[in-house]
Structure 1
Amino acid sequence: MADFAEQLELLLTEVAKKLKDEPQANSKQLVAYFKAVLLENSELASAASRMIQINQDNAKSFQTLVEGGIAQVGVHYHVDKDTLKDVLNTFIQEQKPRLVGIPQNLPRICIQKFVGREKELEILHQKLQEKNQVAICAIAGMGGVGKTELALQYAHYHCQHNTYPGGICWLQGRDVEVGNQIVAFARTQLGLQLPDVIDLENQVSYCWRHWQEGEVLLVLDDVNYFEKVKPYLPPQSSRFKVLITTRLQLVELPQPLTLDVLEEEAALDLLQQCIGKEKILQELANAKKLCQRLGNLPLALQLVGRYVKKQKLSLEKMLERLEGICLRHKSLDKDDNDRTFTLNIKRGVAAAFELSWDELTNEGKQLGYLLSLFALAPIPWFLVESVKTVQDTDDLGDARVNLEDFHFLQGDQTYHLHQLIREFFQEKFFQEKLVQPEQVNELQHSFCQAMIAVAQKVSESPTQHDIQAIAPAIPHVTEIVKNRTILISNIFLTDEDFCLIFVGIGRFYTAQGLYKEAALCYQNYLSNAIERFGEESLEVASSQNSLANVYKDLGHYDDAKIYYQQALNLTINRLGDNHLDVATIMNNLALLYSQQNNNTQQERYNLSVYRETEERYLKARRLFRKALKIRKFRLREDHPLVAQSLNHLGTLYAGLAHYSWQYSSYTQKAERLLQKAFEIRKNTINTEHPDIAESLNNLACLYTKMYRYSEAESLFFQSLALNQSLLGETHPVVALGLWNLGELYVAQHQYNGARDLFQKSLEILQNCLGNDHPLVISACKLLEDLRYRM
């Protein structure tokens, strides 16, 4: 038996030597060689013909069968023709010389420098190198985000560093038979001689069993049906590492590496590679705008960068060309006839999105259009559900999952839609006519009504808690006022809804001390009100009054006075001089006059300044009194608006009494009015309200002037604590409260405490109002005077 085994080994070695001269020999040639050598060795042939091995007790041995004059040899319990060929092929493969280098079929890298994904490369390698298991890692993300490029960079890097000596096999995973690609790689790169008679799955299995030694990286690029790929994956061996790129959410593969768009710095770096560093430095601001306009999407940046370089355009001109037609601009489409373009880009941005769009359900497509109506800001899911559609909550949830599956939508409870995908949804929805035109109007109307409901929640004096609850929805409410078609049409907004939208947004910003943002809102309100209602409408008067309020807060007193007067005249002409709206505008104009009276001690000794100040006080007094009279006539005595008039008139009397000895008797009047206003407010509104804090502050200011310091300090502390709780630590109203408390300390000669309060107040006012605001200028002068007195 031993002699036979030795001779058989010699025989196979001889066959292997002959095959070295013809390395491409197939299994038929192998059998022919074996037969020829066997016939040359008569002793071995005789022994083979006589020997029949009977397998018992699981013993392994060589078994020979002579059938049709052809010897077949195998190592198994029962050897058949196919097994014999398998054994002989294995033997010959082991005798062949090894291929030089790592077997690989990687596409060429065309990007000079890979940017923005260094961290992802490290994470990817960690996932693939997990020990004691088959490592299968997916790179997932929306079309154009750079999944293929990341996989390609990873594969090339580790090919250079010999991380995968068993080979790196790159396969196309979309609509191409993966099994055939694996077999082709095994034949061309590994030199495997596969049996001819077995089916494709068995051929692939054969490849895995006879794959070159060492760790192996298998890359499946752009997988769109995982179930078609799954049968061809490697066996459960930790030396095989599988990397998949896909647009899908593959539940079979936990914790995918999900790619987002690039950060701004990386986006600029990628754009620089396309157009050059010098151009970026020359137009840095426009480069940032371009990256932002394209949503930092790598595919879009590369395509537009290529177009800019080819057309020799400035970035400013490129931005102009993208305006309004971004996704449809030819720069974002791949030109197949451009032979000068060497990047690994197979399709344009819209075409990349199209691949996933075609696989969405109709419900998913309809939800995509609805989401495109929202602003480019995080979208709370409860806000989407508030829009009345034909879909119920469960169907809407299924549609959301459908969009998430293809990475059109990212987030959890609050979602984000990429701006180019947003444009893509809007165009595709109308191209495919998924619903009738009247249904589109109904959907837009439902969207507007949901946003109006949000605007209605913004009260006249919203608290910090109210603001936080409403803040996520405000960008989407604001989206309506950017759409002129919606604003001028009664199809989507009634006249009342039109005003509610602007007023709600304006109140939201004003309540936070964001007066510039509020001013932009009310300017838009005024121009659109004129277009929709005409210049003599009450809606125009309302917008003028709102704009004047913000101009007053910004310190633009002359502009505020003009708009107050226009609003007052228009309202009186339309409603008469005894209407509540007239009282409101009078009250606001009176506040403007009284707010301009913050003069320094030196300015009070200037006779012209003194007379101007006194005149403003008296104008304010006349308007306050008239507004109070109208409100008392139209409303009950304990109405909050009556309390507001009493509070303002009392504050004015306190200021006038302190300003001139001629009006010293007004001090008692002021206290009586302020106390009455405070009592009405305590009895009619929530004690946790900014109006309560205002009354406390105004009483404290009066008591300071009356030398009732302990009472004043207690009220100041109460007012400050309430305002800080309701409005936040950095609100301008809080700053004024700190300043008033500082004035109390000055009156008591506690200069150090006063200085600290003044400094803190000034910092808040500068941040909110800017250095040019009259209050800030006056505060700086008063703080400087205090330093001289210390």
Structure 2
Amino acid sequence: MRLLYFDGSGRLAWTNFSQKTIPPYAILSHTWGDDEFLFEDLANGTGHGKAGYEKILFCGEQAARDHIQYFWVDTCCIDKWNLRELSNAINSMFRWYKNAARCYTFLSDVSTPMADAHLHESTWEASFRKSRWFTRGWTLQELLAPASIEFFSSDRQRLGDKDSLEQQIYEITRIPVTVLRGDPLDKVSVPERMAWMAGRQTTQEEDMAYSLIGIFGVSMEFRYGEGIERAQERLQEEMEKANTAPFIVPFDQNARFTGRESQLAELEGKLFVGASTTKVAITGPGGIGKTQLALELAYRIRLELKSCSVFWISTSDEESLYQSYAHIARRLNILNEKADVRKLVQIHLSNKSAGHWLLIFDNMNEAQAVGLMEFLPSSAQGAIVFTTTDRETAAKLAPRSIVELPEMEQDMARRMLETCLVNPVNEKEKVDLLLKRLEYLPLAIVHAAAYVNVNKTTLQEYLSLLAKKREGSVEPLYRKSENIIAATWLISFKQIRRHDALAAKYLLFMACVNRSDIPLALLPAASSHEQGRHAVGTLNNYSFVTKRTAESALDIHRLVHISTRNWLRKEGLLSQQSQIAIRRLLVVFPHNNHGNRSKWRRLLPHATFALSSGLTGQEHSHESRNKWRRLLRHAKFALSSGPPRKELGWRCATALYNDGRWKEAEELFVQVMETSSRVLGDEHPDTLTSMANLASTYTNQGRWKEAEELFVQVMETRKRVLRDEHPSTLTSMVNLASTYRNQGRWKEAEELNVQVMETRKRVLGEEHPSTLSSMANLASTYWNQGRWKEAEELNVQAMETTKRVLREEHPDTLTSIANLASTYRSQERWKEAEELFVQVIETRKRVLGEEHPSTLSSMANLASTYWNQGRWKEAEELFIQVIETTKRVLGEEHPSTLSSMSNLAHTWKSQSQNTEAILLMKKCVKLRGKILGPLHPDTESSLNFLNMWQMDDLELGT
């Protein structure tokens, strides 16, 4: 839970209490306006001029008057670009309001012109009774959850609380007084609780159901676009499921599902057999109905085996995968923010007490299969089903149980078409001819039926359209069976262009970004919210898009995406449309700032796709999870096409860099640098900055000589062009010092760092973030030389100031804490070091991710403190985890990987595993000699230990 507070300087700050006891806090209840203070404003220190910021100030100041330090406001305490956080927050909201020490309701439409509101109640009571706050859906739980609520006017005048205004609130809401006083909600009947929503409204119609989850004590996924009726049905289902085996499937059963009986029987016959988990893979080309088959299987298993838990896991991207696991963990009541939810679910389901369960992984690919294997549960009572278009992936996941979907048979296809059509058709010959032309492909049938339904046309008219489109007017796809999709797509698209220009505009835009998780906020602006909703509805009616759960976002089917791109290319519009997408991305894609991390992570796939859009031969390659480097290798074409592409490439590169994806960042920085050099010249500040950024990626990859050469070049040029004390010149000197330090040239590093720190203090001030960074760098050089007292003093000063200036979760603050922990460890203050390292790890995991290099570095440091305390088993487990992840993320020869190898060897030696320790240290010495050079201090240290251990072995006669 993220809480706000005002720091010692009176500035708004925040801290996250997810890993520690939550202190008393106040909470704000209000209605949203058009100019709210959002999470991005909070994280970036902006937005203080917004109208919504006044409510933040009011809540904080009122909390202070009530002697409460921390407070929570929904507009800015939830990172809504982080789907994991958003889902957890919505499902936790009722509890957060219930547990608040104080709840303040700010009524923006109630004013108190008189100074003493209590003595002149008549002046505000009428507007109080008519306040919009009493008409909104989400404020119902905010009225019921807290033990007490205080109401304030827009003038910040206290009007009373839930007790003193009890009669008025009862008359407005008709909620029984006993409930307002705190009687348990489960004592009130379900119909009566439902009736409390009468007359209330929500912006999204589905929120009329979603806002009731806390009142009924359930959690559920959010599927905006499903409609109010289905949302209410699912709410009812969740209430009924509360005491039954979990059934977590994000889609309704397809009432139009037909056929595939033999495949269903085959699948059911393969499940729950043998002495271990049964694994089955469903494979076949795109559009043939794999997902629908798995969905039908899930519902049939539920019907036949009511005690069986069924879990659906979407694998369209890493975030969807994690969200699915988190939802399962939440439903099983095993969610623990300190542990990997994938591991929690695996352990739970592997236990016999979990009973029967079925896991369905939808839309798997080869890259996901490799990373997922270690998180699959194992139990004779369990079964796992995968769907994939790739036969090789299917063979890896379930080598002995593969179900291949053949083309639909005629009778099956006929039943499918009949169920999809709104109006029955009695023309059997026309039906059979249409199905033949559609090659019995399920997706093509769905598209054709959607067109007929929307336009109220006949099958004969559709056949005529289809015949025209099949006469060479559509560019072919890779698979012959998929070509028909291009034809059905074109028929529908031409109709959309004629009748809904905005829907067509949206579709063309989406063709130039990644096809998964397209936020509605990314789409081109519409003249009104209603017009945008209508356009999305049009695309949905034609079965071109599907709406994502838990967030306002869209997905496009792979073949629809390809068909749209083919049309753009054929019309000569792909480059132009890609430019439109890039310009829109520049409006939405955030600048390099710690607080924008969630936003850039969701937009990166779209930005990198847009940068590569229009490249010959690249249109069909984006399905692979290894697409990133292929896209980035072709960025030269993209970045050379104009300033917008160059700017977006720059933002993508800095985002990748900050997420520790240095190889990908390197490839983009190379292209940005070459473009800047060609267009602006070698000595232009932008060119020099690009060179410096490229050199930084070399540093982080352990390529210190290459980094040094570039940094020297940049520093010398900046000194000449910008002068010695320019901030950019000083930054170059710092970067060069870091390469010296990494090469063990500590005196040279120290001299540069001292020079930079003193200059920055004079030019920028002692509390400037750059000055604090210089102090930390100098402290590191002291530490490398064993001057730990000096290092400690500087680190303490840097940490305390950084906390105050940049906030507790800022990456620079975490680096300062980690540096201080290292100095404690060097002084054998193990417990103090351990506590700080644990704090840094937990925060970095949450903020940066579990596989970020900085997180791994923290884990390695914690393992070292365990080793220093003789807790070798704990150290060994952490070092092994770090080595395996570092190898995958940074490579086997990266200096960080080698450091972890050396540490693990020491751990084995401490446990008398001499042979294993010597073999690993030999490998480490060889690789360090190759990568760092034979004279590097780390190489020499490893060699010395190896020689010592080998001598010990000789003396022991082993």
Provide TM-score, normalisation by structure 1.
0.52
Q: Distance in 1 between matches of 2:560 and 2:608?
A: 20
Q: Distance between the aligned counterparts of 1:498 and 1:591, measured in 2?
A: 28
Is 579-588 or 780-789 further displaced after alignment? 780-789
Q: 1:498 to 1:634 in 2, by over 3 A?
A: farther
- Tell me, in whole angstroms, the C-alpha distance in 2 between the residues paired with 1:429 and 1:751: 61
Distance 1:126 1:757 in 2: 38
Cα distance in 2 between the residues matched to 1:410 and 1:589: 50
Contact map agreement 2:864 2:903 (CA 8 A) in 1: no
Aligned to 1:649: 778
2:682 is paired with a residue whose SS is coil
Matches within 5 A, 1:618-657: 618-656=747-785
Q: Hey, what's the Cα distance between the residues in 2 that align with 1:125 and 1:467?
A: 39
Unaligned runs of 5+ in 2: 1-282, 300-404, 438-443, 455-465, 614-635, 912-958
In the superposition, relative to structure 1, how do residues 514 and 709 fare at CA in structure 2: closer, same or farther (>3 Å)? Answer: same
Kindly state the Cα deviation for residue 648 of structure 1 after the two structures are TM-superposed: 0.9
Maintained 8 Å contact 2:734/2:774: yes
**Aligned residue runs from structure 1 range 181-196, under 5 A:** 181=427
Residues 332 and 349 in structure 1, CA contact (< 8 A), matched pair in contact too: no
Distance 1:714 1:123, change over 3 A: closer
Residue 707 of structure 2 aligns with which residue? 560
Q: Secondary structure at the match of 1:407?
A: coil
Shift of 1:430: 9.0
Code of the residue aligned with 1:754 in structure 2: it is A
Q: Is the 8 A contact 1:650 1:673 kept in 2?
A: yes
> Given residue 150 of structure 1, which amino acid in structure 2 is its aligned partner?
M
Give the one of 380, 389, 392 matched to 2:528.
392
Deviation at residue 587 of structure 1 after TM alignment: 1.0
Partner Cα distance (1:697, 1:252) in 2: 62
How many angstroms does 1:449 deviate by? 4.1
Distance in 2 of aligned mates of 1:519 and 1:702: 32
Query: Residue deviations 1:727-764, cap 9 Å, x none?
Result: 23333223222332333344444444433343333333
SS of structure 2 residue aligned to 1:328: coil
- 1:121, 1:154 within 8 Å by CA — same for their partners in 2? no
Matches within 5 A, 1:308-319: none
The Cα offsets for residues 528-578 of structure 1, whole Å up to 9 and x where unpaired, read as: 323332333222211111111112111122222222223223323321222
> In 2, distance between residues paired with 1:573 and 1:673?
32
1:374 correspondence with 2:575? no
Look up the SS of the partner of 2:544 in the other structure. coil
Per the alignment, residue 358 of structure 1 pairs with 494
Distance 1:712 1:520 in 2: 37
Alignment-derived partner of residue 573 in structure 1? 720
- Amino acid paired to 1:777: L
Matched, 1:450 2:580: no
User: Using the alignment, how far apart are the partners of 1:372 and 1:122 within structure 2?
Assistant: 28
> Aligned equivalents of 2:905 and 2:834: distance in 1?
24
* Deviation by residue 1:142-194 (Cα, 9 ceiling, x = unmatched): xxxxx9963616269xxxxxxxxxxx9999x99x9966x46x99xxxxxxxxx
- Alpha-carbon displacement from aligned partner over 1:422-448 (angstroms, at most 9, x marks no partner): 455456569889xxx9x997x866643
Amino acid at match of 2:838: F
**Structure 1's 245 and 595: CA in aligned 2 closer, same or farther, altered over 3 A?**
closer
Secondary structure of the equivalent of 2:547?
A: strand
- Give the conservation status (yes or no) of the 8 Å contact 1:639–1:680: no
Q: Structure 1 residues 680 and 398, CA, compared in 2 at 3 Å: closer, same or farther? A: same
After superposition, residues 206-285 of structure 1 pair within 5 angstroms as 221=434, 247-249=448-450
CA distance change for structure 1 residues 150 and 769 in 2, over 3 Å: closer, same or farther?
Answer: same
- Structure 1 residues 12-64: Cα deviation after superposition (integer angstroms, max 9, x where no partner): xxxxxxxxxxxxxxxxxxxxxxxxxxxxxxxxxxxxxxxxxxxxxxxxxxxxx
Cα distance in 2 for residues equivalent to 1:535 and 1:752:
54
Q: Which aligned pairs between 1:609-688 and structure 2 lie closer than 5 A?
A: 616-656=745-785, 658=786, 666-688=787-809
Which position in structure 1 is the counterpart of 2:178?
Answer: none
Question: How far off is 1:366 after superposition?
Answer: 2.6
| 8 Å contact kept, 1:735–1:760 | no
Match of 1:404 in 2: 540
The answer to whether residue 837 in structure 2 is matched with residue 721 in structure 1 is no
Counterpart position of 1:477:
607
Determine whether 1:754 maps to 2:875: yes
Alignment RMSD, CA only? 4.7
Shift in Å at residue 642 of structure 1?
0.5
Q: Is the 8 A contact 1:114 1:153 kept in 2?
A: no
Name the residue aligned to 2:598: 468
Partner in structure 2 of residue 268 of structure 1 = none
Deviation digits for residues 212-257 of structure 1, max 9, x if unmatched? Answer: xxxxxx8794799xxxxxxxxxxxxxxxxxx98653449989xxxx
Rounded to whole Å, the distance in 1 between the matches of 2:292 and 2:704 is 55
Q: Distance in 2 between matches of 1:617 and 1:440?
A: 51
150, 154, 174: which is aligned to 2:408? 150
Q: Which is further off, 147-156 or 551-560?
A: 147-156
Partner SS, residue 530 of structure 1: helix
Q: Deviations over 1:331-362 (max 9, x none)?
A: 889xxxxxxxxx9x9x8664433222232124
CA distance in 2, matches of 1:330, 1:758: 48
User: How far does residue 643 in structure 1 lie from its aligned partner after superposition?
Assistant: 0.7
Q: For 2:554 and 2:609, how far apart are their aligned partners in 1?
A: 16
Corresponding residue number in structure 2 for 1:308 = none
Aligned-partner residue type, residue 792 of structure 2: E
> Which amino acid counterpart does residue 417 of structure 1 have in structure 2?
I
Asked if residue 543 in structure 1 is aligned to residue 801 in structure 2, the reply is no
Query: Would you say the 8 A contact 1:515–1:553 is kept in 2?
Result: yes
Matched residue SS, 1:150? coil
Letter in 2 for 1:452: L
Distance 1:562 1:398 in 2: 57
Alignment correspondent of 1:689: 810
Shift of residue 505, structure 1, vs aligned partner: 1.9
Counterpart of 2:530, as a letter, is D
Q: Report SS of the residue matched to 1:416.
A: strand
Q: Is the 8 A contact 1:529 1:540 kept in 2?
A: yes
Q: Matches of 1:558 and 1:396 in 2, distance apart?
A: 53
Structure 1 residue runs of 5 or longer lacking an equivalent are 1-112, 128-146, 157-167, 186-217, 225-242, 254-298, 304-324, 334-342, 598-615, 659-665
The CA deviation string for residues 340-387 of structure 1, in whole angstroms up to 9 with x for no partner, is: xxx9x9x86644332222321241323322222323443111211xx3
Q: Of 742, 756, 759, which aligns to 1:595?
A: 742
| Inter-partner Cα distance in structure 1 for 2:771 and 2:298 | 70
Is the 8 Å Cα contact of residues 448 and 488 (structure 2) preserved in structure 1? Answer: no
CA distance in 2, matches of 1:406, 1:618: 68
Please say if 1:505 is aligned against 2:634: no
Distance in 2, matches of 1:671 and 1:114, equals: 61
Larger of the two Rg values belongs to structure: 1
CA–CA separation in structure 2 for the residues paired with 1:549 and 1:518: 10
Contact between 1:170 and 1:219, CA under 8 Å: does it hold in 2? Answer: no
Distance 2:808 2:296 in 1: 57
Distance 1:704 1:485, change over 3 A: closer
In structure 2, give the amino acid aligned to 1:562. Answer: E
In structure 2, give the amino acid aligned to 1:474: L
In structure 2, how many angstroms separate the alpha carbons of the residues matched to 1:744 and 1:121?
A: 52
Give the 3-state SS of the residue equivalent to 1:368 in structure 2: helix
| Residues 629/751 of structure 1: CA separation in 2 closer, same or farther (3 Å cut) | same
Inter-CA distance 633–374: structure 2 relative to 1 (3 Å threshold) = same
SS in 2 for 1:645: helix
Aligned to 1:260: none
SS at match of 2:808: coil
Cα deviation, residue 641, structure 1: 1.0
Cα distance in 2 between the residues matched to 1:244 and 1:745: 62
